[in-house]
Amino acid sequence: MKLKIYKSIENVGDYDVVDKNCYFIKNNHIFQDPDRKIVTISNYWGINFELELIHVFTNRSQNSFYDYDGNLILRKDNANIYHIINKSEFIWYDRVLKSTLFNNHNLIAGKLKKYFVDGKLIYYFNNNLVKALSFTEPNKNQLWQYDLLSLGTFNQSNKEVNQYEVKHFIGIYKNQLITQLSNATFLFLNVNSGEQVQIVHLNKDYPLPQGIFYNDNHSAHIFDNKLVWLSNQRLLQINFETYEVKIIKDYFKEDREHQIRFMSNSLYNGHIYFVADKGWQYVTPTHVGVMEVATGQIIWSQQLEDTGGLSEAPQATDDRLYIRTNKGVLHIFEKESE
């Protein structure tokens, strides 16, 4: 795979790739790449590009929803929008009622933090509990809960005692909710009962050498009947049938000048798209690249200049790669024909 820069766009705020199209905001205008202007907005704090709607919100919890032709569909005030189901149904936090609602039905008191929506169910983490509820049946919404306190505690490198918490809800595979916990731990729960199916403690059973750590901030991915995790200097897989852990590649075994520390990454069509630091040059990543998920082989990479760092994972389509720098420059790479 070879990629070359197709173009770079400066002063880009929020952007996203939706249904293989890239949308971004620049100078108070929302565009579809390359230059289709959708709508002009002002007084915004952030933008979410959803499948059916563009969600524009302010720091005062004022929300405006547009379709992709720029038509205003709805305004909603005093609300933190968590999940858009369709053009008329939302899961949201009401700042007046201090509750999380589905449409106008109360779901839980307070806010959602870590959560995952699948069909008509929502899974969320609150007060040491992983809970499942049906948001379409408000009278019997809670289905089950799993107490993370049952896992005990763990010690970090500074010897501080910590309780387990949810870092990421990865997804669902064959009636299992796959949850990434702190301390490089993966928990597999039955989606119907909440019973523990399996738990994998990587720090205990697959430790890294002293001075190298798994990074819980970066999420694992589901691919080809396996859980794939690229964390710091290790690529590994967990088989969903046997829960066997396979170390694909350890990059810390290379000479120091060739070592790569991987950070934010995404998975698309059998490839991991990553940002990384190479050779311990900088604290923040300056390289963007593509890796074969099955082997860990890096098939393309490039160092970007004057970025201020690369905090976000690249996004990809069949023929393009998108990466935004910390200085707000959106680089668009095109995949060249082999």
Q: What is the pLDDT of residues 273-306, one digit of tens each?
A: 999 999 988 788 999 999 999 999 999 999 999 9
**pLDDT value for 23:** 98
Q: Are residues 219 and 334 in the same domain?
A: yes
Q: Tell me the average pLDDT of the chain.
A: 95
Beta-bridge mates of residue 191: none
Check whether residue 216 and residue 321 sit in a common domain.
Answer: yes
Identify the pLDDT of residue 113.
92
Question: How many Cβ atoms are within 10 Å of 307's Cβ, its own excluded?
Answer: 22
State residue 55's pLDDT score: 98
pLDDT band at 138 (very low <50, low <70, confident <90, very high): low
Residue 41: pLDDT above 90? yes
Question: What integer is the mean pLDDT of 302-318?
Answer: 97
- Over residues 213-234, the pLDDT tens digits come to 999 999 999 999 999 999 999 9
Q: Can you state the percent helix, strand and coil of the chain, rounding each to 5?
A: 5, 55, 40
Closest CA to 213 of 238, 237, 183: 183
- How many Å apart are CA 324 and CA 139, to the nearest integer? 44
Domain that holds residue 151: 117-205
What percent of the chain is predicted at pLDDT more than 90? 90
More confident residue, 23 or 34: 23
The three-class DSSP label of residue 41 is coil
Contacts 24+ apart (CB under 8 A), 26-31: 30/54, 30/66, 30/70
Tell me, yes or no, whether 336 and 223 share the same domain: yes
What CATH number is attached to the domain comprising 129? 2.40.10.480
Q: Which residues are CB-contacts of 117 (< 8 A; sequence separation ≥ 6)?
A: 83, 85, 91, 123
More confident residue, 4 or 284: 4
Question: Which segments of the chain does DSSP mark as H helices, in order?
Answer: 202-205
Distance from C-alpha of 110 to C-alpha of 93, rounded to nearest angstrom = 8
Say yes or no: 107 and 137 in one domain.
Answer: no
Asked whether residue 223 is assigned to any structural domain, the reply reads yes
Q: Per-residue pLDDT for 116 more than 90?
A: yes
Q: How many Å apart are CA 122 and CA 103, to the nearest integer?
A: 14
- This prediction's pTM: 0.94
